[in-house]
Amino acid sequence: MSSVEKARDGRNVLPRPGKMGNSKSHSGRTCCSQFLPEEQAEIDRLFDALSSQKDGAETSPRSFSLKALQARTTLLLGASVEPGSHVGEALPPEMLARLYDGMRQVCGTGPAQGSCQSVSREQFTVSLSHLLRGSSEERSVVILKMISASGGPVKAREVRKFTEDLVGSVVHVLSHRQELRGWAGKEAPGAPARTQALAAQLLSELKLPGGERLQGPQWLEGNCDRAAIEDWVFRVPRVAMFLSVVVHRGLLVLGVPPDLAMLVPERQVEPGQELTSLLDVLAVIFLSSHLAPRQRHCWRLLFASHLHGQSFSQLCGRVTHRGPCLALLEDRSGHVFGGFASCSWEVKPQFQGDNKCFLFSIAPSMAVYTPTGYNDHYMYLNHSQQTIPNGLGMGGQHSYFGLWVDADFGNGHSKAKPTCTTYDSPQLSAEEDFRFEKMEVWAVGEPVESELAKGKKSVLDVDPGAQILLEATGWTRQSAGFPEIPDSHSADQ
């Protein structure tokens, strides 16, 4: 077993500050850290920087106050200073206060008896160890202190406010550190609609002590004890991931969290094209969490109606044979919704796809609807046929799709009475039959060579409407049936 494995295998015992070699804390408990030695050294340097700030607050020589944490002083981490590393600017004030409350009320291996007015080295280490490396039980101890000073049962509405603050802090810190990877993240003051929507989606997994889920305003007055918070953190890993981003990038400690690249995929748009997407960073984080790991690193724009035209032919030409992709649109009432196609789209009169497909909603609420197993009507794409529907559909059946974009581009429907048979999804649009002007399709993951080869088509392949027009005039395609010459270069690469 290597030294790293040994360190991972057992927790490091921290000496009491000023008493090297003494593993006992002031309370007589052993302080356990789950950090590697080099990581612990970085934690210690950050604590030293915070505790050395002269802020006028009454603190012990080896502790720091909330004012120190909020200070607009650039913290020296190791031998380098990262631009824009003001902790007080990187995180919203309410999240800084929550972090501080969580730290100052945790001592040793459990909650402190009484309330401390500053944060000691031991409290700082233990709280960060719990938040970044701890079990669901350990995280729940700190989270409860971040929600309420009592640390006991809290109201569900208090958990909701904490969750909204956590979601908002993720956007804030990623924007401040310029790590949005191309996605928009600017938010209006207060709790924006998508912050509330993602927080509500996370909270939908919270169970009250009696096993009930949050289903309305009356549930918000229910009590949540530590067991309920622990169960929630265990079943919703994004809570721990969001806390990791807030701590890592807010305090600039221990570098970039390993999950950050999986949290926010890189946004790729053709050079020279300006796009204000229907997706913001919160919608991207939400959808990415439901994809396979290999599909979370980069998303490539295939089609946007305001860039490529209000044309179903253009849509077909740009999205077929491109691998898995997300299609979404916004109806005229502001509802944003769509579907994930786990396989390449193909123009043909049969249903296609597999049970990895799903439908989703982004606004006014965030939700994902997965296959029920009732049928295999996952995906459908057809064009220029006389006797069967022409359009793009997912779920349900002909004329009653869970999501349908008609070949008469700009028209669609979402018919679910009461839910779509394929995905168990409700009506996604504001009206059953809707009009839309904005539609986007994003390929997810790196392009696959086989898919790129299939995607190399002539202008007639890309635009089926042009092919129909050519044949109607009596001309024939001289190149039909000839093999394509492989090309090592592609606009998608």
- State the architecture of 7-261 in CATH terms: Orthogonal Bundle (1.10)
| pLDDT, tens digit, 9 for 90 and up, residues 268-307 | 998 888 889 999 999 999 999 999 999 999 999 999 999 9
pLDDT mean over 177-196: 77
| pLDDT, tens digit, 9 for 90 and up, residues 402-452 | 999 999 999 999 998 899 999 999 999 999 999 999 999 999 988 766 455
- Range of weakest confidence among 57-71, 143-157, 165-179, 189-203: 57-71
pLDDT mean over 156-165: 94
| pLDDT, tens digit, 9 for 90 and up, residues 347-364 | 999 999 999 999 999 999
For the chain, give the mean pLDDT. 80
Backbone angles phi and psi of 409, in degrees to 5: -55, 135
What tokens were used for 5? Answer: 């494995």
Task: Give the C-alpha separation, 403 to 147, whole Å.
Answer: 40
Give the model's pLDDT for residue 489.
36
31 confidence band (pLDDT: 50, 70, 90): low
**Domain residue limits, the chain:** 7-261, 279-472
- 200 CB-near residues (< 8 Å, 6+ apart): 160, 365, 366
Closest to 123 in 3D by CA, of 182, 47, 183, 61: 47
Task: Give the C-alpha separation, 130 to 139, whole Å.
Answer: 5
